[in-house]
Amino acid sequence: MPRRHRPTLRRRRAAALALTTIGTLLTLGAPTGAAAAPADPGPSRISATPRAGAAATPLSPARRAALIKAAQTAAGATAQRLALGAQEKLLVKDVVQDADGTTHTRYERTYAGLPVLGGDLVVHSVAGRTTVSRATAATLKVPSLTPKLSASSATGKALAAAKGADVAGASTGRAPRLVVWASKGKPVLAWETVVDGVQDDGTPSELQVVTDATTGKPILAAEKVHTGTGTGQYVGTVPVGSTQSGSTYQLTDPDRAGHKTYDLNQGTSGTGTLFTDDNDVWGNGLPADRQTAGVDVAFGAAATWDYYKEEFGRNGIRNDGVAAYSRAHYGSNYVNAFWQDSCFCMTYGDGSGNTHPLTALDVAAHEMSHGVTAATADLNYSGESGGLNEATSDIFAAAVEFHSHLAADPGDYLVGEKIDINGDGTPLRYMDKPSRDGASRDSWSSSLGDLDVHYSSGPANHFFYLLSEGSGARTVNGVAYDSPTSDGRPVTGVGIENAAAIWYRALTTYMTSSTDYAGARTATLQAASDLFGAYSPTYLAVADAWAGINVGNRIALGVNLAPIADQTSGIGQAVSLQVDAYTTNSGAGLTYEATGLPDGLSISPSGLISGTPTSLGDSDVSVKVTDGTGASVTDSFTWRIAYIYANGARVDIPDNGAAVESPVTITGRDGNASATTSVYVNIVHTYRGDLTVDLVGPNGTVYSLLNRSGGSADNVDQTFTVDASAQPLDGTWKLRVQDRASIDVGYIQRWQLTP
């Protein structure tokens, strides 16, 4: 939560990624649809009770260690089951187990012994069934494991990046390490360098710099020390954990793994001096008494520990029962506070004039929640995932405030509201309408990832407020809010406890290092399904809140049917198409009807269209789905039955600008004088670039299918006429693809000719 005027650290964005899998057979995705208008906004909330068995169950240290050991022992078999490459290995990071026995194992990956940044994944296992949440779907493969850029050159580039990020006194105390970068785009061999120094406001800096080891181009520059400012308000008279040692007491909390609170005495390194007292009565509420800051710090750490323990059964920041430690009175006139995962510690400055220690409850909760994020999804601290990282800390700072019920600091959805860092009495950030701070966004847009992560967090904060309290005007704990929605439609809240439970499960169970806003929607919907049931009122509220910040659609009440694309199938070739439908009406079963299906095809009671087509031609198909209440929905599409001659195997397109050809040989079809042939081409085009696609006939005739500059992912699906006297169908046809911008465009997945 840094001061607003702190310079923004930006990263150079990679070329926009547009990955499209194009095919005539529809892969049905997450349900979407237009929604019926929910109830008018108001102070009412959705009443929700979590489902039994869905939430994670607390694990003893011994049980957790045993699960991790067992998962690591089976890591090789798991890698084979996931069809990972021969050079890939899995390293267990953590294991979470639900009350119903579902196990969620979080892995890091290596490639040829090198760490893979962005290769993390979570394997979800129950009753022999396995699903996977992946940080990247890219195939892990690099042309060479020998870097063209030397380690010393990588160090120089990292130091230059640190200078550009206003990091003073930069030094590389840690040698660069060779890694595989897989967080965005095509995996590449890279150098990771951590540059130590000091940020412009006096905060220590651990700048992570990733540099392409082949081209020397910068990939990432992200700060690992997560800074923040708080309300500056003391917690009042509260209990603190202390331990007696001889005739004195130490600020060491025996109930929370021995968490220690130190006085740095205006120093900037080490741990300083452990707070001690002769009568176990700490501080007097005034900043002149150095113990006062220690009380706030110790209570903040205890309240954060208790929140995660009591709400989620989490045993400490890393869930391993090990305490962090806190340092008060950092530096001189230091108006900030920060979490460092490298020391596993929380540090607080004394503010302007050393008279306003930044030791408030929400500061501790925000910063220590960065540690929880690092121990779980480890969201990259840049782009959209960086915004989600910051929002996660704001979310749990609010949740800890509400959970603690302090009269001196009631729960609110404002960030930095009492420090008056702007000089006009306004907060640093507003969760109900983030744009009120002048820099944050209320809703998602494609440019969100270009913002500083403390501002790209705005839409996620807004989502959380909408899910907790709902849209429109309302007053909570004496604070007035008025939250809008991007689609102008109301959202009904489910309460902060339920909203926080959903975000926590999504973070710890489904999110990965590269999760973006769309991925966060998927993760929270899955979490809501686990906790409250699919299409329950709480589940629907999650979708509504995301739609309220322009991420995804609301889910329609009643029957929903995922759109079915036009189909093309081969005569005599088996067909299997599952209709994807669901109903939000509780307990209502579904029935499926289909009219106009091609000869040889039928639909089953479960909505599976199958069979073997027997007749050529086009059919207008209509599918109707009805639930037990009588509600129904219909979708129509065209199904073409034709001769399918060939499907080309996957052919990778090189990144050197050279053309690649995918040959397919057709036999036994001489064609005729008026033959009209449809060509279908499926290309996965992962970057925007200048793309040329041609079809070359057996006699060398070239049919230009696509010649586009700056195109995105493309589906080439067009009809042309073949003159049998000049170009019979019989023979070898070639699909020629060339990326004229000399950047990787992915691969040819399949193509076919259908006369």
Q: From CA 397, how far away is CA 394, in angstroms rounded?
A: 5
Q: From CA 102, how far away is CA 60, in angstroms rounded?
A: 17
**Known catalytic membership, residue 405:** no
Sorted by sequence, the CB contacts under 8 Å of residue 591 that are 6+ apart come out as: 605, 625, 626, 627
Q: Which of 367, 401, 417, 469 is catalytic?
A: 367
Residue with tokens 């651990």: 206
Sorted by sequence, the CB contacts under 8 Å of residue 337 that are 6+ apart come out as: 227, 228, 229, 230, 330, 346, 347, 348, 349, 358, 359, 363, 367
Residue with tokens 């509780």: 586
Residue 699 phi, psi (nearest 5): -95, 10
Residue type present at position 120: D
Q: What is the dihedral of CA 307, 310, 313, 319, to 10 degrees?
A: 30
| C-alpha 725, offset from chain centre | 56
- 8-state DSSP, 553: P
Print the SS3 string covering 317-382: CCCCCCCCEEEEEECCCCCCEEEECCCCEEEEECCHHHCCCCCCHHHHHHHHHHHHHHHCCCCCCC
Print the SS3 string covering 217-238: CEEEEEECCEEECCCCCCCCCC
CB 130 within 8 A of CB 81: yes
**Known catalytic membership, residue 454:** yes
Q: What are the tokens at 557?
A: 């009440």
Residue type present at position 377: A
Q: Which of 454, 462, 469, 685 is catalytic?
A: 454
Q: From CA 580, how far away is CA 559, in angstroms rounded?
A: 11
First CA to last CA distance, the chain: 62
| C-alpha 297, offset from chain centre | 31
The set of catalytic residues is 367, 454
